[in-house]
Amino acid sequence: SRWARITSATSSPFGDGALAREAIVSHGLHKRGGVIGTAGKGAVALRFSHHTKFFEEKIVPLLKKYRLPWAQVINPGNHGTGNDTMTWENLTREVHETGGEIWDHGQTHSNFSSESEADYELGTSLEDLRAAMPSVHIDCFAAYGSGDMMGMKGWDTPEKFATYGGKILLSKYFIVNGLFPGQVRRSNAQSFIGAPYAPLDNMSLAQVRGRVNAARDTQGAVMFMLHPNYLDQEGRMTTAQLDEALGYIASERDAGRIRVLSTAGQILADSSAEEQNLLQTGAAGELSGTWSESVSSLVSAASNGLPHEAESWVKGTGEVTLKVVVNSPTRPLSIEHKVILSGESQRLGVPITPPLDATSTVVSLSGNVRHTGIKYRPI
């Protein structure tokens, strides 16, 4: 019967077949507003693959320097071992204060050869991650390589996602990255399953620029991925080179030529759609003093727990500050971007991830400036 076909999509205790998949996709889209409009711009995203000791020491300072959103993919079963030593508290704090996102990466990044092992590796990890980071919305999975995994090895064809492990993932996660061919995608082609990444580990700055430029020039989307433990190893990208690469991405963003989005956000990027704005009164104009607006909870509460960004291009002289204040019973936030202007146009940006229990968000701009408009939206 029809119901038998639906419910038999997987025998895993974690899977409810096609009905679960439809509901998960619907919820994931609802959380993020359906699409992330880029108004004709290409989209770039940054993903870092566990090894959180080096992520915290070498990469987080660069993300803060350039005010770039990011994603970390985590193996909860490995937390506190090896070089995955960034504490849950520190990781959670950085997520909220710098516009971060967390993806599941398997319980222990291990191979599995039985249904029970697959249930443990791919099924229980999501619950463990959500329990460890209850203020963050987590609904995406990043592919990993470790043995055959009951036929999933490679993650590069539709058939790999029809395996036992693939069915678990499709019944639990909104987006499941894979290794389908190509590195720069069309930005209006939502790819919830199998979307590839561009590996930074061995890239030169010229190669990074080439992929950024390709996304820019084709209105496409690219997700860069880096293993933090490979930084500064012989033959690998150095921290100084990563600084240059991130600086180039930020410069293209600050010139208004690309959007830098969360990892999930670039999957939802649509160059044919206008950029969303949750603010009602931030139209372009002149400011002398302070402007502020409380974001309507009717439109913002659904996307709590996910990366957002406040943004404005300003021109003038003297000090100017763009600030986002989030009220929350557990994790209140007050994050700002303050600069001294000297007559040149400059972009201000505040990437931030409001906690799931956020009760209100206020965006403000202070200074004596002309601005192109003030925006606040999911990224």
Q: Which residue has the tokens 């925006």?
A: 375
Nearest 5 degrees, angle CA 199-CA 201-CA 203?
Answer: 80
Measure the CA–CA gap between 71 and 103, rounded to whole angstroms.
7
Buried-exposed string 153-162: b where 16+ CB fall within 10 A, e elsewhere: eebeeeebbe
CA-nearest of 158, 145, 150 to 116 is 150
Per-residue confidence (pLDDT) for residue 187, from 0 to 100? 80
| CA dihedral for 277, 283, 289, 292, sign (positive or negative) | negative
Measure the CA–CA gap between 376 and 280, rounded to whole angstroms.
10
Per-residue confidence (pLDDT) for residue 95, from 0 to 100? 98
Per-residue confidence (pLDDT) for residue 4, from 0 to 100? 34
Write down the mean pLDDT value for the chain: 93
Q: What is the pLDDT of residues 227-244, one digit of tens each?
A: 999 999 999 999 999 999
Measure the CA–CA gap between 312 and 375, rounded to whole angstroms.
6
Amino acid at 132: A
Q: Is the pLDDT of residue 14 over 80?
A: no
Task: Check if the beta carbon of residue 220 is closer than 8 Å to that of residue 42.
Answer: yes
Secondary structure of residue 341 in the 3-state scheme: strand
Measure the CA–CA gap between 258 and 176, rounded to whole angstroms.
24
Per-residue confidence (pLDDT) for residue 188, from 0 to 100? 80
- Regarding pTM above 0.75, the answer is yes
User: In angstroms, how far is CA 82 from the centroid of its own chain?
Assistant: 25
CA-nearest of 333, 308, 339 to 321 is 339
What would the two tokens of residue 103 be?
């993806």
Measure the CA–CA gap between 138 and 127, rounded to whole angstroms.
10
CA-nearest of 91, 24, 87, 86 to 51 is 86
Measure the CA–CA gap between 309 and 311, rounded to whole angstroms.
6
Per-residue confidence (pLDDT) for residue 298, from 0 to 100? 83
Measure the CA–CA gap between 36 and 267, rounded to whole angstroms.
9
Torsion of CA 143, 28, 269, 97, to 10 degrees: -80
Per-residue confidence (pLDDT) for residue 186, from 0 to 100? 83
Strand intervals (E) in the chain: 36-37, 42-49, 70-74, 100-104, 140-141, 175-176, 184-186, 198-199, 220-226, 258-260, 269-270, 285-294, 308-327, 333-342, 346-352, 360-371, 375-378
Q: What is the pLDDT of residues 340-368, one digit of tens each?
A: 999 999 999 999 999 999 999 999 999 99
CA-nearest of 369, 306, 379 to 349 is 379
Q: How many residues belong to the chain?
A: 379
Amino acid at 267: I
Output phi, psi for 158, to 5 deg. Answer: -60, -35
Per-residue confidence (pLDDT) for residue 7, from 0 to 100? 35
Mean pLDDT of 276-295: 96
Q: Is the pLDDT of residue 6 over 70?
A: no
Measure the CA–CA gap between 329 and 355, rounded to whole angstroms.
10
Secondary structure of residue 40 in the 3-state scheme: coil
Per-residue confidence (pLDDT) for residue 299, from 0 to 100? 82
CA Rg, the chain, in Å?
A: 21
Measure the CA–CA gap between 138 and 38, rounded to whole angstroms.
23
Q: What is the pLDDT of residues 135-189, one digit of tens each?
A: 999 999 999 999 999 999 999 999 999 999 999 999 999 999 999 988 998 888 7
Q: What percent of the chain has pLDDT over 70?
A: 95
Q: Where are the alpha helices (DSSP H) in 177-262?
A: 205-218, 239-254
Higher pLDDT, 377 or 14: 377
- pLDDT bin (cut points 50, 70, 90) of residue 11 is very low
Measure the CA–CA gap between 174 and 191, rounded to whole angstroms.
11
